[in-house]
Amino acid sequence: MRGAVFWEPNKPLTMEDFQMPRPKAGELLIKTKACGVCHSDLHVLKGDLPFSSPCVLGHELTGEVVEHGAHTDVSVTKRFPIGSHVVGAFIMPCGNCFFCVKGQEDLCEAFFSYNRAKGTLYDGETRLFLRNSGKPVYMYSMGGLAEYCVIPANALAKLPNSLPYSESAILGCAVFTAYGAMRHAADIRAGDSIAVIGVGGVGGSCIQIARAFGAAEIIAVDVLDEKLSNALGLGATHTVNASKEDVVDRIK
């Protein structure tokens, strides 16, 4: 297979040939259909966020299940049969650590100890190796900027066949983040009034989710009129341009 490899900061990615990655128990091999570029990927590319190299970036991913790892539990194979459309989450929870058991998968100890610190999955090994040399290549999350990737089943969700791959790739990152903010941090309920500061990918998703939760007033705050106009289309009831007026006074 082919994948885009990051070697060092501020250098172009290169397309390389890889051995076909093999999933292990509890993991699935996914044929990548779409993968976005997140700002955290750009932080790695610029050297602002240190990460093991060489590596494959990309975690805003949708794809199709093509293989189950040997000895994968039957509950997983039934949930994600071959051919299933799926979306991956950028945090890939182990499901077993202190935080995962508490339902705080975003703080998964294994994810940060292994994937973010070492570029591997939870056995301490990558699933990516260059075809000719066998050199290991590390994984930023699942390493989605490749034709295939290995993802733990805990980090996957079924994607309805009616949803397009490209537009849905953002679900596992910006929308995933926005849902956590709206449900678990802000605890938005029907009738609430909220202000969303900054309406990029995450902020725009916050607006849509708040609307789905029944928020009565959704105030979008940004410094660009174009983004504020877009926010109205996403469900904002009011907008405030912070470069032109006092945000606190206007919201009051």
Question: Tokens 């039957």 — which residue?
Answer: 74
Catalytic residue among 35, 40, 55, 205: 40
Catalytic residue among 43, 53, 84, 238: 43
Does residue 4 contact residue 123 with C-beta atoms inside 8 Å? no
59 catalytic? Reply is yes
43 catalytic? Reply is yes
Catalytic residue among 55, 100, 149, 173: 173
Describe the strand order of the beta sheet including 55-56 as a list of residue ranges.
55-56, 136-139, 128-129
Catalytic residue among 35, 55, 59, 168: 59
55 catalytic? Reply is no
> Helix, strand, coil shares of the chain as percentages rounded to 5?
30, 25, 40
Task: Report which of 29, 37, 27, 47 is spatially closest to residue 4, judged by C-alpha positions.
Answer: 37
Catalytic residue among 38, 100, 149, 206: 38
Contacts of 27 (CB under 8 A, 6+ apart): 69, 72, 121, 127, 150, 151, 152, 153
Q: What are the catalytic residues?
A: 38, 40, 43, 59, 173
